[in-house]
Amino acid sequence: MIEVRWHGRGGQGAVTSVELLAVAAIAAGKYAQGFPSFGPERRGAPVAAFTRIDDKKINVRSGIYEPDVVLILDSSLIGLVNVTDGLKPNGKVIVNTNRSPEEIRRELDFKGTVATVDGTGIARKEMGVPIANTTMIGALLKVTGVMELDAMKDSVEHRFGRIAQKNLNAMKRAYDEIKISN
């Protein structure tokens, strides 16, 4: 089982992403859970959302405390929120930033995998908006290999209709452009 914790700010679409990812994983024949950090959330405030994906039925329903992967939608949260809290020592951190993985590694003092991609820049170019939640799904799939990028197609089309292709394009670019430091 892979457990992912997403960090973002209210309004950046972390909850939408965990939903899209879980629906796509289930459609691909896997078992998945996607859920928000329960409770009231405010635009701009730090939020978290969670994904579990497995090949067999998932029974656990408590929170995720020792994630395999942490995905940071907003790099301004680094230092503000303890983003690596509980992250497995051999885990992976994926950050939406134009900085290098090495720079982020030094800042987080983390020895596992660190990967960065300018998700906001890609989202701006591909969709005309600085919202990188769907873009960063591409980054997550590249770094984890949990499923094929193509598996996202149906769930993104169902959710976004005529603007789905732009989201898929952005996802593909993040998949291709992400820099990974092991």
Partner 1 sequence: MGKRMGMEVAMAVAEAVGLCNIDMAAVYPITPQSHIAEHLSDLVANGEVDAEFVTVESEHSAMSAVIGASGTGARSYTATSSQGLMYMHELLPIASAMRLPITMAIANRAVSGPLNILNDHSDIMPQRDSGWISIFVENGQEAIDMSIIAFKIAEHQDVMLPVNINIDGFQLTHMVEPFEMPSQEEVNKFLPPFVPHATLHPAKPVTMGAFAMSDYFPEIMKAKDEALKNSKKVVVDVFNEWGKMFGRNYKLVETYKTDDAEVIMLTMGSMGETAQMAIDQLRAKGIKAGLVKLRLWRPFPFEEIKAVIKNAKKLIVTDRAISFGGPGGPVFSEIKSAMYAETQRPLIYNYIYGLGGRDVPVGDFIGMFERVIADTANQLADTYEFWGVRE
Give least dist CB 36 to partner 1, A. Answer: 6
| Of residues 162, 114, 129, the one with CA closest to residue 12 | 129
Residue type (1 letter), 113: T
* Cβ distance to partner 1 smaller for residue 120 or 155: 155
Q: Which of residues 20-49 bind partner 1 (CB under 8 A)?
A: 22-23, 25-27, 31-36, 38-40
Give least dist CB 66 to partner 1, A. Answer: 10
Helix, strand, coil fractions of the chain, as percent rounded to 5: 40, 25, 35
- Bridge partners of 10, per DSSP, are 43
Residue 134 structure tokens: 């769907």
Give the separation between CA 76 and CA 132, rounded to whole angstroms: 14
Give the separation between CA 8 and CA 44, rounded to whole angstroms: 9
Q: Which of residues 68-127 bind partner 1 (CB under 8 A)?
A: none
* Cβ distance to partner 1 smaller for residue 79 or 86: 86
Question: Is residue 161 a contact point for partner 1 (CB under 8 A)?
Answer: no
Give the separation between CA 164 and CA 159, rounded to whole angstroms: 8
- Bridge partners of 142, per DSSP, are none
Give least dist CB 24 to partner 1, A. Answer: 8
* Cβ distance to partner 1 smaller for residue 34 or 119: 34
Q: Which of residues 55-74 bind partner 1 (CB under 8 A)?
A: 58-63, 65
Question: Is residue 19 a contact point for partner 1 (CB under 8 A)?
Answer: yes
Q: Which residues bind partner 1 (CB under 8 A)?
A: 18-19, 22-23, 25-27, 31-36, 38-40, 58-63, 65
